[in-house]
């Protein structure tokens, strides 16, 4: 049986018109706050405080993206006067790529959902958007779509379904680019489908990260840092793409490792997003219980969990992303060498106390810059600022396109392409 769905084809208009649409979306979302928070909370288990904050972030980024293109900041500034044959000017502009498929994420039902950053940046670029709703949040998705439809009209549509629908969306000939946040398995499937098209299209996929944190010797003497890291591990039940999943401490810093493990296990967390995620987390706890490693496990359900290992005990399972309130704490001596073995990451964090950690930090930072899309100093990777300079991306397998970002104004660049105009009269320029 063939799958039938509508791919929107109406342009969201000029940059000024896009700004008006995005601002209108933000205002409408805020007006529906109470209902949105109630419905999303029931489907996800996320707290009202978390969802209210996420709604503010979502409306804020819609307005930011609208202002960005209305100011013309998305356009290229590359001009080569007189450089063409016969002394004509060559000027570069950007144009929308065409209809974009956006896959709503489960862990950020608003900021990466139907009206999230991928949808906002595609509309800002001038592209109509087809959103594939997340199957775990059908009511939230429909509510958000009902807010968007009267404002966006023919520039927006939504489709529901499983993996078969997802693949059909990607192979649809009218779709010209894809924005995705989810698992490595899901992202790779979409990438393979896009590459197999007669006209391959780009898939901008954010797929996972363990977001390593390196606590240098001077910083490890400050046990208060353990509390902030534990909060980052367990916040939103550990269901954030930037959750620290690996914390590396000096082999002599067992007091810090134990304080962190205890703080994680003692933190109460709310239910997880789906039964499948909860089951996977419970399976991971079961694996750790029988591993013979030092493990600290909370008493609630779901339980937060931390394990302490030596660097030479690290294997593939301990270096894989485990969605949920869990962390692997590693006792190590050579931080740069360990960092060099890691896959690409969304983030990497350094905790240091200066001046005593300056030399170690100087050796470590160049390695982390090669491994991560964002390097954090004396902070936590959770909490991604929606600003011009933000880079929410990273080398494979964190994302499929290390040069791109899904957060911040540069996210618009994913959904536009450059065109060089040679000798075109100024008064005829698009």
Query: Tokens representing 20?
Result: 């008006």
Residue 296 has pLDDT above 90, yes or no: yes
pTM of the model: 0.95
Phi–psi pair at 328, nearest 5 degrees? -105, 125
Residue 426 has pLDDT above 90, yes or no: no
| Nearest-angstrom CA–CA distance, 217 and 72 | 47
| Nearest-angstrom CA–CA distance, 84 and 89 | 6
Q: Each residue of 134-159: b (16+ CB within 10 Å) or e?
A: bbbbeebbebbbebbeebbeebbbbb
> DSSP strand E in 268-371: where?
294-297, 305-310, 326-332, 345-351
Domains and CATH numbers, the chain: 15-207+399-428 (3.40.605.10), 213-377 (3.40.309.10)
Query: Tokens representing 84?
Result: 């063409």
pLDDT tens-digit readout, 192-235: 999 999 999 999 999 989 999 999 999 999 999 999 999 999 99
| Nearest-angstrom CA–CA distance, 124 and 180 | 17
| Nearest-angstrom CA–CA distance, 122 and 112 | 13
Torsion over CA of 63, 65, 39 and 142, rounded to 10 degrees?
120
Q: Each residue of 337-354: b (16+ CB within 10 Å) or e?
A: ebbeebbbbbbbbbbbbe
pLDDT category of residue 2 using cuts at 50, 70 and 90 = low
| Nearest-angstrom CA–CA distance, 210 and 248 | 12
pLDDT at 347: 98
| Nearest-angstrom CA–CA distance, 169 and 190 | 9
pLDDT tens-digit readout, 406-416: 999 999 999 99
Element (H, E) at 405: none
| Nearest-angstrom CA–CA distance, 306 and 243 | 13
Element (H, E) at 190: helix 184-195
Query: Tokens representing 330?
Result: 């590693």
pLDDT category of residue 1 using cuts at 50, 70 and 90 = very low
Residue 367 has pLDDT above 80, yes or no: yes
Element (H, E) at 115: none
pLDDT tens-digit readout, 311-332: 999 999 999 999 999 999 999 9
| Nearest-angstrom CA–CA distance, 421 and 413 | 19
Query: Is 241 one of the annotated active-site residues of the chain?
Result: yes
pLDDT tens-digit readout, 234-272: 999 999 999 999 999 999 999 999 999 999 999 999 999
How is 219-282 classified by DSSP, letter by letter? HHT-TTHHHHHHHHHHGGGG--TT---EEEEETT-HHHHHHHHHHHHT------SSHHHHHHHH
Q: Which of 87, 174, 75 minimizes the C-alpha distance to 127?
A: 174
pLDDT at 430: 76
pLDDT category of residue 429 using cuts at 50, 70 and 90 = confident
| Nearest-angstrom CA–CA distance, 373 and 18 | 29
Cα distance between the two ends of the chain:
43
pLDDT at 226: 97
As a whole number, the mean pLDDT across the chain is 96
| Nearest-angstrom CA–CA distance, 135 and 336 | 41
pLDDT at 4: 79
CA–CA distance from 30 to each of 51, 60, 131, 143, 372 (Å)? 12, 10, 20, 13, 34
Element (H, E) at 206: strand 203-206
Q: Which of 244, 109, 203, 246 minimizes the C-alpha distance to 396?
A: 203
Catalytic residue from among 241, 356, 359, 413: 241
pLDDT > 70 in the chain, percent: 100
Q: Which of 90, 88, 118 minimizes the C-alpha distance to 104?
A: 118
pLDDT tens-digit readout, 85-100: 999 999 999 999 999 9
Beta bridge partners of 307: 295, 328
Query: Is 206 one of the annotated active-site residues of the chain?
Result: yes
Q: In this structure, are residues 187 and 205 in contact, taking their beta carbons and an 8 Å threshold?
A: yes
What one-character DSSP code corresponds to residue 218?
Answer: H
Would you tell me the crossing angle of helices 48-70 and 15-31 to the nearest 10 degrees?
160
Residue 3 has pLDDT above 90, yes or no: no
What one-character DSSP code corresponds to residue 46?
Answer: -
Q: Which of 246, 251, 171, 187 minimizes the C-alpha distance to 406?
A: 187
pLDDT at 290: 93
Residue 44 has pLDDT above 80, yes or no: yes
Catalytic residue from among 206, 258, 262, 359: 206
- Name the one residue in this structure whose structure tokens are 């930037």: 242
Beta bridge partners of 308: 294, 329
pLDDT tens-digit readout, 112-131: 999 999 999 999 999 999 99
């Amino acid at each position: 049986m063939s799958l039938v769905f509508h791919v929107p084809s109406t342009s969201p208009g000029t940059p000024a018109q896009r700004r008006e649409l995005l601002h209108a979306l933000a205002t409408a979302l805020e007006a529906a706050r109470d209902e949105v928070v109630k419905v999303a909370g029931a489907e996800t288990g996320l707290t009202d405080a978390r969802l209210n904050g996420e709604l503010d972030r979502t409306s804020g980024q819609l307005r930011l993206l609208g202002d960005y293109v209305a100011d013309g900041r998305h356009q290229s500034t590359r001009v080569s006067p007189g450089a063409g044959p016969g002394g004509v000017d060559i000027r570069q502009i950007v144009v929308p790529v065409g209809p974009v498929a956006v896959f709503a994420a489960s862990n950020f039902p608003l900021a990466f959902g139907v009206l999230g950053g991928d949808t906002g940046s595609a509309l800002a670029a001038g592209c109509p958007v087809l959103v594939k709703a997340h199957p775990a949040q059908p009511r939230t998705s429909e509510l958000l779509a009902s807010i968007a439809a009267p404002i966006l009209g023919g520039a927006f549509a939504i489709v529901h379904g499983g993996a078969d629908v997802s693949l059909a969306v990607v192979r649809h000939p009218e779709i010209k680019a894809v924005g995705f946040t989810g698992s490595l398995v899901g992202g790779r499937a979409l990438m393979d489908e896009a590459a197999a098209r007669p006209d391959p299209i780009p898939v901008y996929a954010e797929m996972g990260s363990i977001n390593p944190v390196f606590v240098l010797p001077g910083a490890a003497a400050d046990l208060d840092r353990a509390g902030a890291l534990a909060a980052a591990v367990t916040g939103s039940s550990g269901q954030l793409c930037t959750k620290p999943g690996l914390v590396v401490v000096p082999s002599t810093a067992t007091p810090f490792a134990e304080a962190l493990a205890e703080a994680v296990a003692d933190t109460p967390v709310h239910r997880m997003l789906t039964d499948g995620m909860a089951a996977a987390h419970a399976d991971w706890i079961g694996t750790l219980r029988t591993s013979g490693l030092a493990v600290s496990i909370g008493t609630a359900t779901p339980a937060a969990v931390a394990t302490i290992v030596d660097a030479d005990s690290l294997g593939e399972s301990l270096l894989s992303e485990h969605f949920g309130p869990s962390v692997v704490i590693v006792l190590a001596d050579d931080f740069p060498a360990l960092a060099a073995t890691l896959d690409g990451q969304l983030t990497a964090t350094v905790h240091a106390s200066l001046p005593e950690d300056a030399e170690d930090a100087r050796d470590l930072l160049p390695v982390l810059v090669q491994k991560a899309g964002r390097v954090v100093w004396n902070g936590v990777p959770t909490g991604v600022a929606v600003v011009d300079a933000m880079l929410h991306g990273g080398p494979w397998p964190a994302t499929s396109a290390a040069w791109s970002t899904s957060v911040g104004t540069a996210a618009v660049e994913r959904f536009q392409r450059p065109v060089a105009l040679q000798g075109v009269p100024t008064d005829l320029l698009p």
